[in-house]
Amino acid sequence: MAYWLLAALLVLWLLLQEGNLRNYWQNWRRQPWPIAFLLICSLSLFWSSDPAVSFHRASILIASTWVAAYIGMRCDVEEFLHYLSWFGALVALAAAYMALTDPLFGIDRAYGPAVWRGVFWNKNHLGSVIALFSAVLLLTLVNIRSRPGHGPTAWFILAYAGSLTVVYKSHSAAGYLLVLILHATVFLSLLWIALAERMQRWHYILAAIAAIAVILVALANLNAILGAFNRDITLTGRTKLWAYLLEEVVSKRMLLGYGFGSLWEDSQFRALANEKLGFYPVIGDNGFMDILLGVGAVGLAAFMLVYFTALKGAIRCLVREKNVAGCLPLLIMSFALFSNISFSLLVEIEAMVWGLIVAVLFTTAKRAETFCCAEGAPLNTRLASRSP
């Protein structure tokens, strides 16, 4: 909480230094849905089962949103890709370093002596997040190679290979599946860019039919697909957990939930779930389920409006930019969806994924007014000066 509040104060200082505070508010006025979601999460402390926990979580959510919105307004997609790839490479390096030098912390011994968790609390957390960064690093490599004269690629090749190694060492089925899904997202986005000028309506209809067919075949053979990753149709008991939560927990407070982030902090609730399920859950293992538990159907509806607005912006960005960097917002939105099917990465255990969604929302939106850089020059002027 102290970290995020300090980061928020730093952003406020930067806005004042740059003279962008007014423009910042103008851009926020164009985004009602994240404001609505933040208000619901904040107000939930009045009906929360643990108001202190909800206040703590909501404070982090507000501060991280403040920071993420600034990043989204301050960066275009090219800069966003550059910074995120460096950040991802450093996180993967830190995870590998911790697993190799401090096994008591970096190894997830709940799953075995060779299972990495790195700087994260759980192997699935490590595998999921680094899967995203591997796809981001791949996108960066392609972006560098697409430029005239290219640029230094050795470091990013090493970082990309290292990120895949870290995902492998996590032994996370979710991480493995995300690597495949996100790399497919990158490939299909780049393929569309290459063919966009020649594609006609019937091509899109044919592609939609093919996508539906692939989904139906995958669903029909879901057990076999999951079996390849040593998982079954219950997703290691997750479906049993979700059924219990919907039938016996969510149904009692469907509309507004139990308070933002509060329910899983209740040891008595976890103990009761253990008696019902035969195992001890610590999160809902589904990002959307945990939002539903915290702020109910109203809060989940507000979040989905944020998500679909950002997804629309991501698709519009890809269509508008038609370049490698323009694929990044859609990649992030794909990750936000698929990573939260079997894990809780939206708002329950960290703020990064929510922050990335907010950053996509703002970086893909049309700016209300010119956003200035630190030197005081308009952002569009600075970008133009960097163009070849």
Backbone dihedral angles phi then psi of residue 107, each to the nearest 5 degrees: -105, 130
The dihedral sign for the CA sequence 337, 254, 279, 120 = positive
What pLDDT is attached to residue 382? Answer: 46
Residue partners of 148: CB distance under 8 A and separation at least 6: 388
The residue assigned the tokens 């697409």 is 146
Chain segment 36-81, per-residue pLDDT in tens: 999 999 999 999 999 999 999 999 999 999 999 999 999 999 999 9
**pLDDT above 60: residue 198:** yes
How much is the pTM?
0.93
103 band by pLDDT with thresholds 50, 70 and 90: very high
What pLDDT is attached to residue 375? Answer: 52
pLDDT above 70: percentage of residues in the chain = 93
What is the rounded average pLDDT of the residues 208-215? 93
Looking at per-residue pLDDT, the higher value among 232 and 255 belongs to: 255
**pLDDT above 80: residue 374:** no
For residue 323, the tally of other CB atoms under 10 A from its CB is 14
Beta bridge partners of 116: 107
Terminal CA-to-CA distance of the chain, rounded, Å? 42
What pLDDT is attached to residue 380? Answer: 47
C-alpha dihedral (92, 97, 99, 104), degrees to nearest 10: -130
The dihedral sign for the CA sequence 313, 84, 65, 380 = negative
**pLDDT above 60: residue 367:** no
